[in-house]
């Protein structure tokens, strides 16, 4: 149960921190954040949070990302965030470091393209060889405060190469694709990465199941379809999570 006072503080903070420009947008975003909050059953788990606690939960569970994508503000927000972050490019002196890691873990150096576009480190593949490269940007030096478990250059490159490129990338940008990439990379790197680096991939598979959910967007234009897929995915996600949790107990 969120009190009116907490609601008001959250909306004030959304404006103060530049997430929205006015109270009306603040209310819209707040409502969307709370809807995502309910969808994840967080209100059951977190009772009556203070404004600070609630804000932390929004951040922890990436509800800003979800809400912005539902509201269609994501591109605009990303642009603003990227403008602020002038250091999106990987500095020149770090390129040899990344190349050395690539060679060490069996990723062909010729697949690496540095700072081609600023949307982040990612594999770009198109059928027929129209595109086949890994875009490398500054985020390959992971932010320790970012909740994503992929931290080492080794694990990030393995996710892109052994996961997305060599694995079966079937539905780009969905939780299945992201989960599959990390889990496949985990399976394929037994003799290549250290145990800790492989654990990053394993934990990232769990993280991607829980946090990547572009399917949510489809609700915008088709309520029934969305509800149908969501029900299937929740069961599927739960099954996969249980499977991975059991495996991690054995793996660790």
- Residues in the site for Zn ion, rule: CB under 5 A? 178, 181
Nearest CB to Zn ion, comparing residues 178 and 203: 178
Least separation in angstroms between CB 177 and Zn ion: 7
Least separation in angstroms between CB 178 and Zn ion: 5
| Cβ-based neighbours of 225, under 8 Å, separated by 6 or more | 218
Least separation in angstroms between CB 78 and Zn ion: 17
User: CA–CA separation, 232 vs 175, rounded Å?
Assistant: 13
Least separation in angstroms between CB 18 and Zn ion: 28
Buried-exposed string 69-83: b where 16+ CB fall within 10 A, e elsewhere: bbbebbeebeeeeee
Nearest CB to Zn ion, comparing residues 2 and 158: 158
Nearest CB to Zn ion, comparing residues 29 and 107: 107
| Cβ-based neighbours of 221, under 8 Å, separated by 6 or more | none
Nearest CB to Zn ion, comparing residues 204 and 233: 204
Residue 164, CB half-sphere, CA atoms under 13 Å: how many? Answer: 24
Least separation in angstroms between CB 159 and Zn ion: 6
Nearest CB to Zn ion, comparing residues 32 and 182: 182
Nearest CB to Zn ion, comparing residues 37 and 175: 175
User: CA–CA separation, 78 vs 85, rounded Å?
Assistant: 10
Nearest CB to Zn ion, comparing residues 57 and 181: 181
Least separation in angstroms between CB 142 and Zn ion: 13
Least separation in angstroms between CB 57 and Zn ion: 25
């Amino acid at each position: 149960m969120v009190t009116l006072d907490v609601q008001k503080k959250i909306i004030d903070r959304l404006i103060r921190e530049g997430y929205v420009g006015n109270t009306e947008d603040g209310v819209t975003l707040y409502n969307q954040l709370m809807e995502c909050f309910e969808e994840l059953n967080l209100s059951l788990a977190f009772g009556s949070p203070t404004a600070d606690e609630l804000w932390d939960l929004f951040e922890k569970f990436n509800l800003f990302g979800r809400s912005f994508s539902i509201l269609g503000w994501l591109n605009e927000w990303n642009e603003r965030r990227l403008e602020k972050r002038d250091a999106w490019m990987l500095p020149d002196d770090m390129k040899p470091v990344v190349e050395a890691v690539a060679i060490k873990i069996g990723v062909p150096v010729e697949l690496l393209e540095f700072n081609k576009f600023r949307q982040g480190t990612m594999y770009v593949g198109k059928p027929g060889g129209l595109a086949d490269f890994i875009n490398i940007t500054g985020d390959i030096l992971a932010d320790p405060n970012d909740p994503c478990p992929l931290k080492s250059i080794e694990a990030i490159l393995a996710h892109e190469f052994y996961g997305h490129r060599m694995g079966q990338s079937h539905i780009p940008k969905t939780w299945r694709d992201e989960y599959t990439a990390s889990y496949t990379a985990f399976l394929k790197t037994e003799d290549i990465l250290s145990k800790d680096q492989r654990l990053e991939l394993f934990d990232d598979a769990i993280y991607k199941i829980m946090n990547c959910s572009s399917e949510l967007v489809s609700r915008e234009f088709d309520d029934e379809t969305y509800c149908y897929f969501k029900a299937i995915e929740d069961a599927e996600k739960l099954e996969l999570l249980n499977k991975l949790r059991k495996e991690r107990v054995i793996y660790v």
